[in-house]
Structure 1
């Protein structure tokens, strides 16, 4: 068997980089050479959080080589404008990727044998096809969301969305009897920000969907146990999840912020199943009123809490909605710990954790489920609203927060739902059952584990 050199290309977002870095680590452990390509903007964040300017991540005796390509936007551009970002990527990065692959061959004697591209970077499959190397799709969200995208022509035909991808009327629909029902409010690309951005992203999605026919390998961070209906709806999709970090490693693989491990020492001092873990991923933003209600609601629970509050500066462009909001004067914080960024999987595995107040991003969903932690669901945008449906209605391992007449999740609502969740033994039991099933899938001989082995064998042939 030959040693393949795999070029891995994630979308420039923390929730996309994370699973693809873990996936890259698995390939590295199985004897592949890995070149991990971020946009320049994301690449600089990753290097900064690692304190490593050498551009490599050690794995055994080998390394993942970290490289970058400019996204085509200027240094001061608003990369939170996803429509502009992905159109710029589509217009600029394909030619630069092709040049990078050629330079690797001519200058370093490195021949790339395969490109694994995130769905939103699926234009890279066209590059792979053009230069005659293998191309593979990696889908980082739930299989149900890809099933939704595969149904775009039918959704238009049935009058659920228009040709720009936007819902025509509020309507409930079901892709198949084995996939939870959706309503138009769960169409993820129509939950981004404004209509113009949503139309742009929809056009990117349509383009990406057209490129999928260029490969027979569609991988996803899910399991047959978790999404049997969606996986049968998209039979080409191969589940290799749950992709979980090796928690014995302290190295932060692909993090945009430096992880603060002091929270683990703090958790060691807390009683078993006592701590509320609160984390909203890499993109959620709160205004001052909601931030205040959350802070005071956590105090009202009278429980210890670990709360991740990002101190990122690239949300400064919106002065009304940024994470540099200050804690209210009446917030004492004596019973809790606030972290800038946490080693989430280590936290979720810790016996002191009682529940997870989460934005329900797919990575957080998979990590929480894999560790048997009950959820309190607080989605922010895109696919997170559908993930809440899975957690609360299908798996029944969590509860949802309800907004008041002002659209706020109040401090009293937080107190009430925490008490209700932690008083429900059935939810705790179900969460443990799901954990056992998901862990079985990734153990040696499990279906996800066997799927990954099958893929690696194909890579090496």
Structure 2
């Protein structure tokens, strides 16, 4: 006997690059759990979906269905190693690939789409939702202030003019809540649109489309930046802060029939941290995409030797290709050796690491998700931003929240890194930052608890999507 068709059919569109797919799946699972009679078709590329769905659940899990869209790569394509190349080819295929995929899904399920949840980048969700007469709910995976900058794209360009604002210290004092931001802190796609780059075109169209959304979901929590949320609500119909998304529960009830994943620590990071003094360790990670230039990697290694502070370094790639052999040998001892004051691993359970009492600083690329995890663990940041919203995030942490410091000159040098490590780990300034982090850590816990702001906003999101 065949099962009845789902009561509703929700389409979920993923931007299948960087760290966008996994948090989108987290949100969808949280919405799907209390609505087992609603089907969620999760549209990503074969590669991106394959990274987040278990191999034994390639078709999806419970009422979350894995669906593929064309990645735009020509037959026989050989990547050059430039990640922007893959993004540009994918964006040339949109929105046609999503239209084609959603038509196939509707035919296969036998139920038309009742709601569209998309990555905020995918601006065409506004037009598709209008055509189908369904709600459009984009998800912004960064913070409120960077979203506010994008919403004000036209005003920023008109005010800054045609100069070279990328290197300017001009303050954005003409936008409430962004008065501490300098023009050089802005994402380049806010400053000007490059008509030769699909990514730039996408961000430009996104800024103009978001006011059409029924609600915009933001990876933040109400208590963190209420003034920014208030400013966003002047331009958007509804703002729902549901973060930090990476901290949302992954217990069994988040997905029907899906067992909770165990907390993995294959390289013994927590066991090693247990042997270190309180607030003494700097944890180092530049995320899943960024690798600093070789000169900066070497400068950081020299600074760690000079500062002589314990460190845990989550290192992407082969450290032997970038660092002196003796440095690597000291930091990659055999598993189970806990006496070393340094440890390099290919991967670390970041949230668990940042919650550990031995960690006193986080040297980070300043991605928003990493900073939210700083708040969750109560750990100050040492920041080396690279692109996108990262410079704005750095400015926010340093000048507004006063719970982090940017590296001098915006790059890693031996002298600058030594100074930053000592300031945060060894001097009173670091203790004061950790003191300011304490209330933020408590705010995160309250927001995610039952009856907390993020929990309530998530409940509102569930109602919008499923009722």
Give the superposition deviation at 1:81. Answer: 5.2
Residues 155, 161 of structure 1: 8 Å contact kept: no
> 1:187 maps to what in 2?
186
Cα distance change of structure 1 residues 435 and 409 upon mapping to structure 2, 3 Å threshold: same
> 1:25 maps to what in 2?
29
> 1:135 maps to what in 2?
136
Residues 8, 111 of structure 2: 8 Å contact kept: no
Q: Write the distance in 2 (CA, Å) between the matches of 1:148 and 1:283.
A: 23
Give the superposition deviation at 1:344. Answer: 1.6
> 1:76 maps to what in 2?
78
1:8-407 correspondence to structure 2 within 5 Å: 8-31=12-35, 33-46=39-52, 52-55=55-58, 62=62, 64-74=64-74, 75-78=77-80, 80=82, 82=84, 85-109=86-110, 111-160=112-161, 171-190=170-189, 200-235=198-233, 236=236, 237-243=239-245, 244-246=247-249, 251=261, 260=266, 262-311=268-317, 325-331=321-327, 332-333=330-331, 334-403=340-409
Cα distance change of structure 1 residues 232 and 213 upon mapping to structure 2, 3 Å threshold: closer
Give the superposition deviation at 1:155. Answer: 1.9
Q: Write the distance in 2 (CA, Å) between the matches of 1:343 and 1:213.
A: 37
Residues 252, 259 of structure 1: 8 Å contact kept: no
Q: Secondary structure at the match of 1:306?
A: strand
> 1:319 maps to what in 2?
none
Residues 365, 383 of structure 2: 8 Å contact kept: yes
- Which moves more between the two structures, 194-203 or 147-156? 194-203
Residues 41, 70 of structure 1: 8 Å contact kept: no
> 1:429 maps to what in 2?
435
Q: Secondary structure at the match of 1:182?
A: coil
Give the superposition deviation at 1:324. Answer: 7.7
Residues 167, 184 of structure 2: 8 Å contact kept: no
Length, aligned pairs only: 433
Cα distance change of structure 1 residues 389 and 200 upon mapping to structure 2, 3 Å threshold: same
Q: Write the distance in 2 (CA, Å) between the matches of 1:252 and 1:141.
A: 27
- Tell me the TM-score normalised to structure 2 length: 0.82
Q: Write the distance in 1 (CA, Å) between the matches of 2:446 and 2:360.
A: 23
Cα distance change of structure 1 residues 64 and 295 upon mapping to structure 2, 3 Å threshold: farther
Give the superposition deviation at 1:113. Answer: 2.4
Give the superposition deviation at 1:35. Answer: 3.0
> 1:418 maps to what in 2?
421
- Note the alpha carbon deviations across 1:80-111, whole angstroms, 9 max, x for none: 453x5555434423222223222223224454
2:458 is the counterpart of 1:456: no
Cα distance change of structure 1 residues 261 and 35 upon mapping to structure 2, 3 Å threshold: farther
Q: Write the distance in 2 (CA, Å) between the matches of 1:458 and 1:206.
A: 27
Q: Secondary structure at the match of 1:120?
A: coil
Give the superposition deviation at 1:396. Answer: 0.9
Q: Secondary structure at the match of 1:284?
A: coil
Cα distance change of structure 1 residues 430 and 457 upon mapping to structure 2, 3 Å threshold: same
- Tell me the TM-score normalised to structure 1 length: 0.83
Residues 193, 204 of structure 2: 8 Å contact kept: no
Q: Secondary structure at the match of 1:241?
A: coil
Q: Write the distance in 1 (CA, Å) between the matches of 2:120 and 2:402.
A: 29
- Note the alpha carbon deviations across 1:236-283, whole angstroms, 9 max, x for none: 332122221437786399xxxx97453233333434333211010122
Q: Write the distance in 2 (CA, Å) between the matches of 1:364 and 1:108.
A: 38
- Which moves more between the two structures, 72-81 or 224-233? 72-81
Q: Write the distance in 1 (CA, Å) between the matches of 2:362 and 2:352.
A: 13
Give the superposition deviation at 1:353. Answer: 1.8
Residues 142, 220 of structure 1: 8 Å contact kept: yes
Q: Write the distance in 1 (CA, Å) between the matches of 2:407 and 2:279.
A: 21
Give the superposition deviation at 1:154. Answer: 1.4
